[in-house]
Structure 1
Amino acid sequence: MFIRSIYFFRQLLTLCGIIVLFASCKKGWLNETPSSQIPSEVQFSTEGGFRDALMGVYIGMSKPSGYAKDMSWHLMDRLAILYAPYTSTTPYIDFQDFNYTSVRSRPIVDGMWDVCYNNIANINNALTNIEIKKSILDPINYNIIKGELLALRAYIHFDLIRIYGHGNFSGRPELASRLAIPYATVYGKDDPPQLTYTATFQLMEADIDMAIDLLRKDDPVYTAAQHPAGYYDRVNINGFYNNRTLRMNYYAALALKARVLSWEGASARKVVARDIANEIISNAPAHLITAASSTNKVLMGEDLFSLNIQGFSLITDLLLNASNATNYNAVFLAQAAAEELYETDNPDIGLADFRYNTLTELQVRGRVPVKLRQEGNDYISKNRMPLIRIPELYYIAAEDYIDTDLAKAIQYLNIVRQARGILQDISAGSDKQTVKDELTKEYRKEFLSEGQLFFYYKRLGFTTYPGLAADRVANDALYVLPYPANEIEFGGRIQ
């Protein structure tokens, strides 16, 4: 059983006013330090200051404009047209038409950018100081905290690419030489330069590889290191290293690398991503939860990386509630759309699938995904927003096997389907296109309320997808959200 970290929750409640952004710049990535906030030289004068800074990054990622809402289950799944359309004006209604520049949409689009770069600035400040103050840190703390920070820097930059950058790199080799989002590695007021996608991915992979090397040495989740009993006693203050799936960890960093390599798209990169996926499947503590063994709707035993969102219920329980006909902000699927998604016309597929019969619930206005709804969740699984789960690694491996070992691809997809309660396997005689279609169905079913489907479509260059109007083409105008206007006007950015 996962152990709840007392330290973690104490930090989540107290650090919001402690972790600081220490300088100013014209775009607001770095905010001026009020007198009530802690100067950098004080913040990083003790090991505790580094722990607090790291926790502050997770708190920053957990904002509604970050992974508590817009960058995950809410906006990204609306762009994937998983939810029924709004019938009344809401702040998000223009996203239904992929209008990213309206007076309603623009603050939301800009808010995601700002929260990402603010978090990156805090990460860079901590990384600068962890080298300056290395002598005050226990080597275990140094390796793990620095490893987490580096992987988080790569994680956030990668999601900036997934939202504001281009996709379908395997089909568009000309993108390699285009300018990508700024990859910020230095804390300060100077604007980070825009580099090509090739150079940007090189920086990202360097961060990930360094993080993996550091975390392999000392991350408690990596048991192959075989540290002696009591190894972590001197640093595991108040359970700081308990429940590693609520933090970036060794296997999460590996999974991130597999995601990035898949996005780059070249066959050789996908082979490496597949091999990484197999390593994680074989060795990570996360495992597929079966319909019979499921005890929590968020499926936390499958998490490789998740966030603890304090006050998550204030966001989810209002929106994931279609029992009131006048809740115009409600997030739900039309019943007919849910039946199509989960293939309920075949009882051995849809009706048997606990993603349909347990993780969605029929209410007055339609069928509601309840994975993230906090009402009724047990204490251990409350407030969790999954960011990487083990099924994705099966899908990454299967995607490569479709081209190299079709039987293996079918096997991997059937493993997940069987865990979900589906009684009918994908036929061993299926052709390549059929298996590709089944993989897409799995992404649509599995990641409802997690925000991964839009990125799947974008990565592979789908020109249309379910729910998209027949006269609309899914191209860059749809997939690439615009940079903030001041980045173009004052920063000279090129998108």
Structure 2
Amino acid sequence: MKIKNILKSLILIVTLNFTTSSCADWLKVDMEDGIMEDKLFSENEGFFTVLNGAYSSLNESYGNALSMGVIDVMAQYYNVPANGTHPYKIYANYSYQDDSFEKTSSTIWKHLYGLIANINVLKEHCDEPESALSTRYYPIVKGEALALRAMIHFDLLRLYGPIYSSQTESSSAIPYLDVPNNNVVPILSAKEVCGKILRDLNEAAELLKDDPVRTDGVQTDDAEENPNPVYLRYRQYRLNYYAVQGLLARLHMWMGNKTDAYNCVTTLLAEVEEKQTFPWVTKAAATSTSAPDRVFSTEVMFGLYNPSRGTLFDGLFGKSLEGDALTFVGGLSGDDSKLAQFYGPNSSSDYRRKMWEEVVTSTDEEAGVSTGITYSLKYEQITTDDYFKFMIPLMRISEMYLIQAECSNNLEEVQNCLHQIRWNRNLTSDEVVTEENKDQLITEEFAREVIGEGQLFFYYKRHAMEEFASGTDVTNTYKMLLSNYVVPLPKSETDNRQ
């Protein structure tokens, strides 16, 4: 499928301007008298214009900070020395009081709550007695709107809320904005926020139970014989039914409800395996020389469509950045390299390991030793018009297997989950899973799967891990302060509440 056709279908049908500097945003352009708003919601297309605008706007926070950039630096993936001059040092050091960190945090907060406010307006128009939205599209639009509202709140909770437990669930967390007004809403406890997220996701799942993704798959082609309008295609770029189930599983894991999470992913996996909705990437696709699918796009349950992905890559991982790039520590491949340590023994054939390029920077010919920089290629721009060219994954099927493994009390089932992933990464899976190594094996595979996707920091936080792989040392671990898992609410928010 050609990129221009996705653009036509997914990006805004009309041009809407937005800003994150205040509560003014893309939906409220010249709507002071309500005329434009009424016109926009006078037909089905207007509802999808606003919904598409919401997905497009996600890129502002998730395109960098909450996917491949800030949040992954906070997971200590990359070589960002604590005492160096790297521009991302404040994030690796959790320097929450630094003005630059405060600015980043405030921008994320304002943008995402502004986006939630507009999603609430969309939902309100869906439910109007004389709504112009047809009964065919109502469950899709409202279901996706609720799912978006829940997902954004959940990520805000995971960032700013406490490490969730029975001891902290009553702790102050974040506001939950579920009414379309400009009043200041109270800051709720973590448990209260989770309750509202669960409510929204359950309602979204019910509305999306007949999602075309369940009958027709993700629909990444432009076949003229496809009976579904463009609004109902490209389901990987929307919070489809399966993505909602995945969010429910994540939420249950966050709350410690492993039985509910297990039931959620077990049902999901049984259905998508039978229908081959999210098939494993093929060897041909993963190792293509002309257009390598390094994001394993067929496996993505939900992701962003970001035409600026190449620019983001250049600004974070590009070789021209040299010491300012986000890179792996250490030099060239060897048993003592970061690549070998991260991907494990006998991993040279791993598709994920092949996402890195090692560039020699100096050679000591007398000693026979070379040093170099290991650059990520995961989001490097491809020159063909494949549909995954601008994809940034936010949820993938392998995470569901890892949730199942983490929740299972059956070591054979755990082994099978890990085997599924490793086999489909071009690896053997001969290590026997035991009660002693189970958690470590799951953590290692999770880190390998979601690099550049903004999930590892939250995984560490959920487990309250005080020690994990270092980004600046090949063999030693990073010692984490539990307090660093909780980002303070932005001053722009707390000052307004005084």
Under a length normalisation based on structure 2, what TM-score does the superposition of the two structures give?
A: 0.85
Note the C-alpha offset of 1:6: 3.1
Task: Give 1:393's aligned residue.
Answer: 400
Note the C-alpha offset of 1:112: 1.4
Q: For the Cα contact (< 8 Å) 2:208–2:240, is it kept in 1?
A: yes
Deviations 1:244-292 (A, max 9, x none): 1111111111111111111111343343344345345535611222435
Residue 341 (1) aligns with residue 342 (2):
yes
Residue 178 (1) aligns with residue 177 (2):
no
Going by fraction, where is strand more abundant, 1 or 2?
A: 2
Q: Relative to structure 1, is the Cα distance of residues 327 and 93 closer, same or farther in structure 2, using a 3 angstrom cutoff?
A: same
Residue 92 (1) aligns with residue 88 (2):
yes
Q: Distance in 1 between matches of 2:4 and 2:128?
A: 29
Residue 201 (1) aligns with residue 201 (2):
no
Q: For the Cα contact (< 8 Å) 1:331–1:368, is it kept in 2?
A: yes
Q: Residues 8-27 of structure 1 correspond to what in structure 2 (within 5 A)? A: 8-9=7-8, 12=11, 15-17=14-16
Task: Give 2:281's aligned residue.
Answer: 289
Match of 2:460, SS?
Answer: helix
Task: Give 2:259's aligned residue.
Answer: 268
Return the match for 2:249 from 255, 258, 261.
258
Note the C-alpha offset of 1:18: 5.2
Q: Distance in 1 between matches of 2:216 and 2:30?
A: 46
Note the C-alpha offset of 1:107: 0.9
Q: Distance in 2 between matches of 1:40 and 1:284?
A: 41
Q: Distance in 2 between matches of 1:5 and 1:139?
A: 30
Q: For the Cα contact (< 8 Å) 1:254–1:280, is it kept in 2?
A: no
Q: For the Cα contact (< 8 Å) 2:172–2:188, is it kept in 1?
A: yes
Select between 469-478 and 328-337 the one with higher mean Cα deviation: 469-478
Task: Give 1:221's aligned residue.
Answer: 213
Return the match for 1:62 from 34, 59, 62.
59
Q: Distance in 2 between matches of 1:388 and 1:339?
A: 26
Note the C-alpha offset of 1:43: 2.0
Question: In the comparison of the two structures, how many residue pairs are matched?
Answer: 462
The one-letter code of the counterpart of 1:422 is L
Q: Relative to structure 1, is the Cα distance of residues 443 and 74 closer, same or farther in structure 2, using a 3 angstrom cutoff?
A: same
Q: Distance in 1 between matches of 2:109 and 2:156?
A: 7
Q: Distance in 2 between matches of 1:51 and 1:34?
A: 17
Task: Give 2:389's aligned residue.
Answer: 382
Q: Residues 112-151 of structure 1 correspond to what in structure 2 (within 5 A)? A: 112-132=108-128, 135-151=131-147
Task: Give 2:352's aligned residue.
Answer: 355
The one-letter code of the counterpart of 1:182 is P
Residue 305 (1) aligns with residue 302 (2):
yes
Select between 175-184 and 381-390 the one with higher mean Cα deviation: 175-184
Q: Distance in 1 between matches of 2:249 and 2:4?
A: 28
Note the C-alpha offset of 1:99: 0.4
Residue 317 (1) aligns with residue 323 (2):
no
Note the C-alpha offset of 1:379: 2.9
Select between 107-116 and 409-418 the one with higher mean Cα deviation: 107-116
Task: Give 1:249's aligned residue.
Answer: 240
Return the match for 1:423 from 415, 420, 428.
428
Task: Give 2:40's aligned residue.
Answer: 43
Note the C-alpha offset of 1:127: 0.4
Match of 1:304, SS?
Answer: strand
Q: Distance in 2 between matches of 1:189 and 1:450?
A: 32
Q: Distance in 2 between matches of 1:10 and 1:412?
A: 36
Q: For the Cα contact (< 8 Å) 2:157–2:190, is it kept in 1?
A: no
Under a length normalisation based on structure 1, what TM-score does the superposition of the two structures give?
A: 0.85
Q: Distance in 1 between matches of 2:167 and 2:201?
A: 25
Q: Distance in 2 between matches of 1:298 and 1:254?
A: 21
Q: Distance in 2 between matches of 1:292 and 1:48?
A: 39
Note the C-alpha offset of 1:116: 1.1
Unaligned runs of 5+ in 1: 22-26, 226-231
Q: For the Cα contact (< 8 Å) 2:63–2:392, is it kept in 1?
A: yes
Match of 1:136, SS?
Answer: coil
Q: Relative to structure 1, is the Cα distance of residues 250 and 284 closer, same or farther in structure 2, using a 3 angstrom cutoff?
A: farther
Q: For the Cα contact (< 8 Å) 2:151–2:247, is it kept in 1?
A: yes
Note the C-alpha offset of 1:152: 0.6
Q: Relative to structure 1, is the Cα distance of residues 450 and 11 closer, same or farther in structure 2, using a 3 angstrom cutoff?
A: closer
Residue 106 (1) aligns with residue 98 (2):
no
Note the C-alpha offset of 1:424: 4.0
Percent of pairs identical after alignment?
A: 27
